[in-house]
Structure 1
């Protein structure tokens, strides 16, 4: 199996690492426009090579992708359409990790008929969140006779003495300023940024945490494949509280403001001064310094409905490895890139073998495939706890 990954940054490099460990993987090619930066992230492995490529140049990507079993977009979601077109031209299966998700529209689904016609798989939003969260929503919903609601709660919490970025700060800030939606009675409803605050109990020690509505892809796809009246997604933890503060102060606004004789965009100022995602070598230095004590990325999925005329809430808690654990498992990785890269790799090993052709997200998979993937996630070291309320 040969895999082409577009994006050789923090997540793409971890994805390449995990794929390279598999016997069935013959080669992993990472394509990135900035090869100098990608070299700082990519592991040194005989199966992994680096190729300079511009994701927006469809014809060149298609030429590179010919003969590969899978093309994965591990870069920005704004490149999804370019890369899906390239995959179609190359006759290659496709996977990505996120949607652009503008105005309650999951843009990749527009390619469904084209992928079916070419007898190709387009597995979208297949990483940690979205991805594992979608898969668990499907498994939980399958045990109910009727699903009334699906709620996804994410925790991102960092204990650090220094500013720290685990994933694209631009994406994080843009996600916070984009209007969130809920699915309510068969249509999407636009909500206020950081609206509908609630206290949620994640697994110990993160109980009673404030959570807020945030724009994220699960809300866009879950009601497409699971019949339910309501879907929402909220995030809690130190990182969302930080971004919430920036939002309230107006520091995520892109329009220019006058300070003395200068016109400055608050958004550009914040993204300029906030640190970039550290490379593996930089990450090792940070963890060795003791200034980054630990970090957590956990997810909870709750499906409410009826089974045998009894009202139930089925819950899954996903405990991705903590930063302290990752420092031993894969030094140089961070708590987000590890979760996203590992999850994407597990999906990638399955994607080309899927019988159903077309474009869809993990919750559209059949029960047998969902169950098999669930077992693979558990064996990978991702802790998943199931309960019933």
Structure 2
């Protein structure tokens, strides 16, 4: 039987634990968080005696080492700042590793040889928009040459608020940090930084999502796809929906870590902002009831096959209501791919090393996703002229 440890029992960690209740091969799931009461609430909701709540400090090696002792897979669902430390502890404890986001994927990939030598595998940046990476890899393998990959990920509430409130459905700190770093694109073998909120365009997503304004962001696949796709790839970028609320907060300085004096008291604007935003993990049932969001993860892969220039438009569409209906969690787009990956690692179906989703055995991973009901559409557009 299999033992899994989840570090971080926020929205994503709780969803992963819930999805693991559907897997009979798992004998125990350690649900660990620095907020023990949050971990206990998550376990109580699941009503599964395989779930065990534990306290952990993700910034403390001894604490981590104690929690992951004897586990087969460590799933890191906490902040990316802890990735390298959790990876190191997992490696020393002889466990495979999966995380959901990274603030330095290239640094993690540098550990590839170290993991290969131990026969263990670390899969970085799994779930959510990153699942499309594997579909991009499959399409790229069919092409003679790949010129460009343009990632376009969109989501919107079915009922838009008249006055928008910045209220992320995942860790507020991670959600905020995505917009504070200048976006990166890959062009002709180099990574280029561009201004915040640049590259705005109206992109027409497949229905029912439809047209949305999107802009460039700093996103992990921009760094990983060129390395794992090859085929002469010259350009990669990623755009997400333009978030006016977070843009306003940033431009007003309300996300700053620099203290300001208010009536004789020094306060950090960011601390005030974070204190005012309810953590989504502490209002998970309320969020599930009030949210219905349309989601589309899409990639345009431009290249050439048999002398013909073409674009593959690959996408996965879902909604929060569909995730709730089928999986009883509203972030199944994260939890299901993460659990699928963990099971592949346990079964020895992935070569040792450090890889992103596109480094997994592509057909096998996409087949397993399909078995869980996560599928991709693929439209081919043939180009004429030079």
Change (3 A) 1:287 1:226: closer
The match for 1:377 is: 369
Give the C-alpha shift of residue 383 in structure 1: 4.1
Q: How many residues align?
A: 371
Secondary structure at the aligned position of 1:267 is classed as: helix
Give the C-alpha shift of residue 379 in structure 1: 2.9
Change (3 A) 1:278 1:8: closer
User: Within 2, Cα distance between the matches of 1:118 and 1:93?
Assistant: 10
TM-score (norm 1): 0.88
Answer with 243-252 or 23-32: which moved more.
243-252
User: Within 1, Cα distance between the matches of 2:6 and 2:89?
Assistant: 13
User: Within 2, Cα distance between the matches of 1:379 and 1:222?
Assistant: 25
Give the C-alpha shift of residue 149 in structure 1: 0.7
Matches within 5 A, 1:283-302: 283-285=284-286, 288=289, 292=290, 294-302=292-300
Matches within 5 A, 1:332-371: 333-334=329-330, 337-352=331-346, 353-365=348-360, 369-371=361-363
User: Within 2, Cα distance between the matches of 1:89 and 1:274?
Assistant: 37
**Cα deviations by residue, 1:327-374 (Å, 9 ceiling, x for unpaired):** 43355x33xx33211221111111231342111112123xxx311221
**Cα deviations by residue, 1:259-291 (Å, 9 ceiling, x for unpaired):** 555544433332222222044xx4444555xxx
RMSD: 2.2
The match for 1:324 is: 321
Change (3 A) 1:117 1:283: closer
**Cα deviations by residue, 1:174-221 (Å, 9 ceiling, x for unpaired):** 110111110110010011111111111111133221110111111111
**2:11–2:171: 8 Å Cα contact kept in structure 1?**
no
Q: Which runs of 5+ in 1 are unaligned?
A: none
Give the C-alpha shift of residue 56 in structure 1: 2.3
The match for 1:134 is: 133
Matches within 5 A, 1:249-288: 249-258=252-261, 261-279=264-282, 282-285=283-286, 288=289
The match for 1:39 is: 40
Secondary structure at the aligned position of 2:236 is classed as: strand
User: Within 2, Cα distance between the matches of 1:293 and 1:36?
Assistant: 25
User: Within 2, Cα distance between the matches of 1:38 and 1:79?
Assistant: 18
Give the C-alpha shift of residue 58 in structure 1: 2.0
TM-score (norm 2): 0.89
Q: Which runs of 5+ in 2 are unaligned?
A: 382-386
Determine which of 159, 169, 172 is the counterpart of 1:169: 172
Secondary structure at the aligned position of 1:356 is classed as: coil
**2:19–2:327: 8 Å Cα contact kept in structure 1?**
no
Residue 241 (structure 2) pairs with residue 243 (structure 1): no
User: Within 1, Cα distance between the matches of 2:181 and 2:110?
Assistant: 21
User: Within 1, Cα distance between the matches of 2:300 and 2:191?
Assistant: 19
**1:146–1:307: 8 Å Cα contact kept in structure 2?**
yes
The match for 2:25 is: 24
Determine which of 90, 93, 114 is the counterpart of 2:93: 90
Secondary structure at the aligned position of 1:167 is classed as: coil
**1:316–1:385: 8 Å Cα contact kept in structure 2?**
yes
**Cα deviations by residue, 1:304-341 (Å, 9 ceiling, x for unpaired):** 01011111111111113x2222343355x33xx33211
Give the C-alpha shift of residue 40 in structure 1: 2.3
Secondary structure at the aligned position of 2:142 is classed as: coil
Determine which of 203, 206, 209 is the counterpart of 1:203: 206
Change (3 A) 1:354 1:330: closer
**1:127–1:347: 8 Å Cα contact kept in structure 2?**
no
User: Within 2, Cα distance between the matches of 1:37 and 1:65?
Assistant: 19
User: Within 1, Cα distance between the matches of 2:288 and 2:34?
Assistant: 29
Determine which of 186, 190, 194 is the counterpart of 2:189: 186
User: Within 2, Cα distance between the matches of 1:299 and 1:266?
Assistant: 33
The match for 2:117 is: 117
**2:121–2:352: 8 Å Cα contact kept in structure 1?**
yes
Answer with 172-181 or 33-42: which moved more.
33-42
